[in-house]
Structure 1
C-alpha cells in the first residue's frame, strides 16, 4: 500500500478531539434547533407536504393528469411536423414588419438535445414597401443551434450557424431610409451590431449588394466563412471581398479574419480590413474585443490619399480640403464612441498629429485636437480653396493658384454647407513653428466650434516675427446661401515685410495697425467679399520712408527724381498714415486716405471693388517746402489687386504743360517755370484725430 503523505503531520500538543467536537457542537446547536423546529412545523401544517406524504384520490388524479399531459406534449413535439407553422409564421412576420417574409422550404426542429437546433430551407425576407422589387435577404439553407445550459442561464450561445448561398441586398435612400431596418422609426443610437457568440460560423457562396444613394456608393461583394478541410487547405476563416463605385470612381473592399473555431467571448478575434476608393486608402489591422460584438474593437489604422475632404463619402465626417496626406494611429470603437488617437503623419509638406473623437448617432459629434511641429503655410492655401502641389518627398508645397478665377486673388471655391449641417464638432489646432515665408508668419493657432449648422472660428491667430493678426469669424450654414461675419485685427505688423528692401535698405519702415469688420452672404470667400458690408482700416502711427518716395508723393520732379537717380537712401519721417474705407455691396470707398511725412502731405480718394478685385485710387500730394519743379497732377493707382499700376493723371499733366508753353511765348522763358513752382504751403495733418477716427 502507498505510504501516507501526511504521516509527518502531528496535532498540536494538548489537542483533544473530544473537546473540539464539543465546541463545534455547541456553536451549531442553535442553528440545528431552528432547522428542526421549521421541519416539524412543515410536517404538521403544510398541506402540500401532507398531500405528498399521504396522497388522496384527488392528488393521485392530478398527478396522473399532469404526467399524462407532459408525456403528451413531449410526444407531440417529437412527432410534430414543423412545416405546418411555415404559413402562420410567415403571415405574422409579414404583418409585423410590413414586408413579405416566407419560409418556402422544409423546417426541421430538434428540441430534445443539449444543443437544440433548427434547419430552415429556402428563406425569403422581402424588402420594405418602397423597395418591393428586391428581396433584402434570401438563403437556400440555414442551420442554427443553441446551447441549452447557457440558454437557461439567460445567455445565448450558438455552437453552430451555417448558411448556404445567402443573398443580401442593402439599400440606403438619399433621405437615410435603410431597407434592412425593421424598426425605421427608432432613432439611430450609433451602436454596432451585437450577435451572440458563434463557435462555428459557416457561410457558403454568400453575396452582398449595397446601394447607398446618398453617398453614391455601389458595391457587389462575395462572402465566405469556413474551416480548413485538410492539412493543405490554406484559406480558412472569414473573407469579404467586393468591388463597386463611389461617385463614379472605383471602390474595393476586403475584410478577412481567422477561422471560427472555439470562439470565446473573452478572446479577441483578429481581423484586417482594406478600403480603397475616393482617391483614398484605409487599412485597419486589429481585433474585435468580444467576438460578434461589432461595437467593440481596436485597430491600427493607416490613411493615405489626395485630399482629406474625399473621406466624407466614406466616413460621413466633413473635413477640409488639403494637399495629399498620410496618417497612422490607433482606431478604437466603444459602441457609439470612435477615437483615432495618437496619430501622426503628414499633410502636404506639414507634419500633423493629434487625437480625434467621434460620437455616433443620428448626428455626429466630432472633437479634434491637432498640432504641427512645423507648418508649411502653402498647405493652408488648399483649405481656402487654392490649388497646391506637393513634391514626391512630401517636403515642400507650392501654391499653383489662389483658387480664384484667372487674375483674381480671392478663392471662389464654394463652401459645402450641406456637410456642415450633418454634424457638430470642436477643433483646436496649433502650429508651433512655420516654415520661412514671405509674410514672416511664425506661429498659427486656430479654434472652431460647429453646432447646428453654425461654424464659429475663434481664435484665428497668426503670430509674425513682429506683430500678430487675431480675429474671429462666424459662418451661418443653415441658409441655402451662407451668411458670414468676420472681425480681424492686425497689430504691429512691420511695413518692411510688405515692401522688401532694396540694396539693403527698406524703402518703408514702421508698424501697421488694422481692422476688418465685414459681413454678408456668399458661398465662397470671393462671393462673400463681393456682397459684404462693413469697414476696413489701416493705420501707421509713425515710421520712416525714403525721402525720394516722400517727395514723389507730391510729384516733386526736381527733388524726388533726382534723389532716386542719385540713389539717395536718406529717410523722411512718417508722422502718420491712415486708410479708412466704408464697404457696401462689396465696394470699399475711401473715407480717409492720408499719408503725412515731414516733407509731403498726401491725401487720396477712390474705391476698391472687392467683387471685381479692381482698384481705382487717386492720391494728391502737397509739399511742405518750396520746390522749383512741381507737377500738379495726382498719382493714380488702378488695376487688379494682384498687380495694380501706379501712374500719374496724364490729362492734368498735358493741361499744365500747355500753360507753360503760353507763358514761355508771351512773357519770358524764365516765367515758364512758374507753372511748376510749388509754394510749399501744406501744413501737418492732425494725426491724432485721424487715427482716432479710423475704425
Structure 2
C-alpha cells in the first residue's frame, strides 16, 4: 500500500481541524473560554499524530527487518566458532583449563533457548596435578528466557551422558570441586529449579585425604513413571572405604517444582552395615542450605557415620537412632533424638555448626538406664559378650582377644585426626546405671573438645553412699596424645564397694587416682603413666576371724571361722599408697590396722603387662602360741590375681610400735592428697594422736597439715 493516500487524508483532516479551531477561537474571544481550551487540546493532538504515524511506519519496518536478520543469523550461525572463546573465558574465571571438545549446537531464537555440546573436559587446578575433574561426553541444557531478565534461572532440562567426575580434597582442605578461583564462599550449595534432570551412565570418584575417605561408584538419575505416579529417582552404587555403598533418592515430579513450595523426597543411603534413611523436604527447591527430614540411622558403630557425615562420633556398640534433622545454612540440628545404643537408651538433642574451620558440635544427651559395659567401646574395648548383650562381630572379636590375653586395658589405636577435626560441648546425664564393677547409681559428665584437647570436667558418678568426682583430659594436639586422669572417691562404704557374703568388712572408704601418660591407646598411655594412687579406710569394722587370719593366727582365726562366730573388731585405719613411674605402681606403704592385728605390705602393679605382685605381712598385737610367720601374697593378672601364702620363709617378729611408726608418718603426709578433711575422721586422726602420745615420731608439720 502507498504511503501517499495516507498522507493526503491526514492533510485534509489537519485543514478541517484548523478551521474548527479558528471557529472555536472566535467563540472564545466572545467569552467562551472553555471552548478555546478544548480547541487548543484538539489542535495539539492533531499536530502530534502526524509525525507519530510516519515514525511508526518507518520504525516498524526497520525493527521487523532487524528481527528477521537476527533470527536468520542465530539459525544459520555456526556456534562451533565460539567454542574456543567460551572455553578460554571459563578457564580464566575458574583458574583451570576448560575445553569444549565436541560439536556445539545452540537454539537461541526461542522463549526456551537450549544448547548441546558433545564433549566437555574440565581440568584439575594446578595444585592437584595433571588430570581432569570432569569429562562429560554430552551435555544438554535448556532454560526459560523470561525469568532471566529478573535474575532467576529456571532449567527446563539438564542432561549429562557418560559423565566421569573425579573429585579430590587434600590434607590442607583444598578441593577440586571449588570453582571460586581463590574467592572463598561459605554459602551452601544452591541449584536452580530443574524441570527435567537426567544422568545417564555417570561415574563418580571422590578422594578426601582430610577425612581419609574414598568413594568410587556409578550414578544415574531420571524421571520415571511408577505406580504412585511420576517422580524423580537418583541411584548410586559403588564402594566407600572398602564397604559396599548404595544410594537411592526419590523425589516428587520435577515438572511441577515450585520455588515457593517445599520439594518432598525420600533417601536411603548405605555403607557396609551402616544405613541412613530419611523422609523430608527441601524448603526452597533446590537450595540445599534449607531442608528438614525425619531420619533414622543404624549400624554396628556410631563412629562409622564419620564416612557419611564428616562428624567425628565415639565408638559404640550397635545402635539404632531416629530424630528430626534440619538444616538452616551452616547449622544442622537433630531434635527429638531417641533410640538405643547397645543395651542402653539415648535421648536428647544436638546441633552442628559448620561455618568455621572445624565443625562445632553441641549436645544435651540423656539416658534413663545405662548398661555400663556399653561404655567400653568408647575406649576401644568391647561390651560384654554374655548371652543377651548387644555387641558387633568386630567388638566380639576384640573381646575374645582381650580375654585370651587376660587384659583389662584396650589397645585399639585412637584416631587423633577425628578428634582434631571438630570442636564440641556435650553434656551427658544418666539416671540409672547397672552391670558396673562398682555399685554406681547415676552419672553426669560434661565433655568439651577444643582444637584437639578433649576434657571431661566435671565427671560425677553417684554411689549408694558417696560419689566419684574428678576430671580427665586427652591432649591430641601433638603427634603423641597425652592422657591425664584425676578422680576422687569420697564418703563411700566398704561393704558396698566390696560386697562379700555375711559382710565381714564394713566402714568408710576414700581414695584418689592421679595419673598422666602418653600413647595413642588406653593401654599405651597407662604403660608409661606417672602419678600416684591412694586408698584410705579411716574407720570401720572387720570380722574378728578375718582379722586374726590377716595376722596368720591359725588357731584363733580358724577356730572363729569354724564356730561361725560373727564377732567383729574395729578397723583403726587402713592405707594403701602407690607411686607410679613409667607404668609401674610401686606400693611404698600398705598398712591395715585393727585391734588385734596390724598388717603392712608392699609390691608392684605393672600396667604394661597388667600383672600385680603384692605381699602383706601381719603382726599380732597380743601373744599368740601358734602363728605362721609367712606373708600373704597377691600375684598374677590384674583381671584375676591369686591369693596365697609365701612358704619356705620365716619372718622375724617385730614390734607393734615399729609397725605403727611406719603407718603414722606417711599417713600424715598423704591424707591431704586424698581429702583435706579426712584427718578429722574417727580412727585415723585418733591413731595419729595416740601414736604421738606413745612416743612414735610423728612430724609436727605433717600432723598439722593432716588436721586441716
TM-score, normalised with respect to structure 2? 0.79
1:391-430 counterparts in 2 under 5 A? 400=399, 406-430=405-429
Give the whole-Å Cα distance in 2 for the aligned partners of 1:581 and 1:442: 28
Distance 1:355 1:348 in 2: 19
Aligned counterpart, 1:380: 375
Q: Distance in 1 between matches of 2:291 and 2:105?
A: 36
Deviation digits for residues 574-629 of structure 1, max 9, x if unmatched?
01111112111111122322111111111222222222222222222221112111
2:587 paired residue among 574, 587, 590: 590
Q: Which of the residues 590, 602, 605 maps onto 1:605?
A: 602
8 Å Cα contact 1:582/1:590 also seen in 2: yes
> What is the aligned partner in structure 2 of residue 23 from structure 1?
none
Q: CA deviation at 1:427?
A: 1.0
1:196 corresponds, among 192, 198, 206, to 192
How far residue 249 of structure 1 moved from its aligned partner, in angstroms, is: 2.0
Match of 2:269 among 272, 275, 282: 275
> Does 2:120 align with 1:124?
yes
Q: Distance in 2 between matches of 1:531 and 1:497?
A: 32
Match of 2:8 in 1: none
Question: 1:345 aligns to what?
Answer: 339
SS at match of 1:550: helix
Residue in structure 1 matched with residue 646 of structure 2 by the alignment:
649
User: CA distance change for structure 1 residues 687 and 567 in 2, over 3 Å: closer, same or farther?
Assistant: farther
| CA shift for structure 1 position 364 | 1.3
Paired with 2:326 and 2:67, the residues of 1 have a C-alpha distance of: 50
- Structure 1 residues 220 and 605, CA gap change in structure 2 (3 angstroms): closer
Equivalent in the alignment of 1:262? 256
**Contact between 1:530 and 1:585, CA under 8 Å: does it hold in 2?**
yes
Distance 1:67 1:461, change over 3 A: farther
2:34 aligned partner = none
Q: 1:100 matched to which residue of 2? A: 98
Matches within 5 A, 1:17-416: 75-76=69-70, 78-80=72-74, 81=77, 82-97=79-94, 98-102=96-100, 104-111=102-109, 113=110, 115-128=111-124, 129=126, 130=128, 132-134=130-132, 136-148=134-146, 150-158=147-155, 160-175=156-171, 176-183=173-180, 185-187=182-184, 189=186, 191-198=187-194, 200-203=195-198, 205-214=200-209, 215-226=212-223, 228=225, 236-361=230-355, 362-388=357-383, 400=399, 406-416=405-415
Unaligned runs of 5+ in 1: 1-51, 657-675
Matched, 1:545 2:547: no
Give the corresponding residue for 2:468.
Answer: 469
Deviation at 1:281, TM superposition (A): 0.7
Unaligned runs of 5+ in 2: 1-47, 674-708
- Give the structure with the higher percent helix: 2
RMSD of Structure 2 on Structure 1 (CA): 3.4
Contact 1:243 1:251 in 2 (8 A): yes
Contact 2:485 2:513 in 1 (8 A): yes
2:517 matches 1:520: yes
Distance 1:497 1:233, change over 3 A: closer
State which drifts further: 319-328 or 64-73: 64-73
What is residue 670 of structure 2 aligned with on the other side?
693
Q: Deviations over 1:9-44 (max 9, x none)?
A: xxxxxxxxxxxxxxxxxxxxxxxxxxxxxxxxxxxx
- Where 1:85 maps in the other structure, the secondary structure is helix
What TM-score does the superposition give when structure 1 sets the normalisation length? 0.80
Cα separation, partners in 2 of 1:597 and 1:186, compared to 1, 3 Å: farther
- Of residues 102-111 and 565-574 in structure 1, the stretch that sits farther from structure 2 once superposed is 102-111
Cα distance in structure 2, aligned partners of 1:475 and 1:464? 26
Pairwise CA distance, 1:116:
4.7
Change (3 A) 1:188 1:403: farther
Cα offset, 1:477, TM superposition = 0.4
Distance 1:246 1:226 in 2: 26
**Offset of 1:492 from its aligned partner?**
2.0
Aligned to 1:18: none
Tell which deviates more after alignment, 266-275 or 544-553: 544-553
- 1:526 aligns to what SS in structure 2? helix
Look up the match of 2:38.
none
Q: Say which is worse superposed, 510-519 or 633-642, in terms of deviation.
A: 633-642
Figure out how many residues of one structure are paired with residues of the other and give that number: 611
Query: Alignment partner of 1:331: what SS?
Result: strand
CA 1:444–1:593: 2 relative to 1, 3 Å:
same
Alpha-carbon separation, structure 2, partners of 1:680 and 1:202? 92
**Aligned counterparts of 1:285 and 1:573: Cα–Cα separation in 2:** 67
Deviation for aligned residue 1:53:
12
* 2:19 corresponds to: none
Q: Is the 8 A contact 2:223 2:233 kept in 1?
A: no
